[in-house]
Amino acid sequence: AAGVIQSPRHLIKEKRETATLKCYPIPRHDTVYWYQQGPGQDPQFLISFYEKMQSDKGSIPDRFSAQQFSDYHSELNMSSLELGDSALYFCASSLGQGRGYSNQPQHFGDGTRLSIL
């Protein structure tokens, strides 16, 4: 079965640079979530989209922005990168929370490992 696809798998950047992470959800999934997992930490929710609209916002820095496109893929744009942004970034997808499917499980992609030098 098709899973969530994230790219790139690994990314190395320097401080103050920008980065764009991409996420392609499971087919027919219309909700996308982004999570950040630092070393030794549990995943922390950043932001989510349902039907191309932002549906919830967590601990996402103002330097980061994201959007969901008409084909439901999503991109996380990160600017003015800092050393503390080094982490695993996971995208997850599920069926429409907007329809009240809050019990639908989220399926995660392999993640992007971002290293800031």
Partner 1 sequence: RKEVEQDPGPFNVPEGATVAFNCTYSNSASQSFFWYRQDCRKEPKLLMSVYSSGNEDGRFTAQLNRASQYISLLIRDSKLSDSATYLCAVTPRWGKLQFGAGTQVVVTP
Binding footprint of partner 1 on the chain (CB under 8 A): 31, 33, 35, 41-45, 48, 55-56, 58, 88, 90, 92, 94, 97, 102-111, 113
Nearer to partner 1 (CB atom), residue 79 or residue 86: 86
CB of 33 to partner 1, least distance (A): 6
Q: How far apart are CA 21 and CA 75, in angstroms?
A: 5
Q: How far apart are CA 6 and CA 43, in angstroms?
A: 16
Nearer to partner 1 (CB atom), residue 34 or residue 79: 34
CB of 77 to partner 1, least distance (A): 20
CB of 37 to partner 1, least distance (A): 9
Calculate the alpha carbon distances from 94 to 55, 64, 78 in Å.
13, 22, 24
Strand partners, 37: 88
Nearer to partner 1 (CB atom), residue 15 or residue 49: 49
Q: How far apart are CA 90 and CA 68, in angstroms?
A: 15
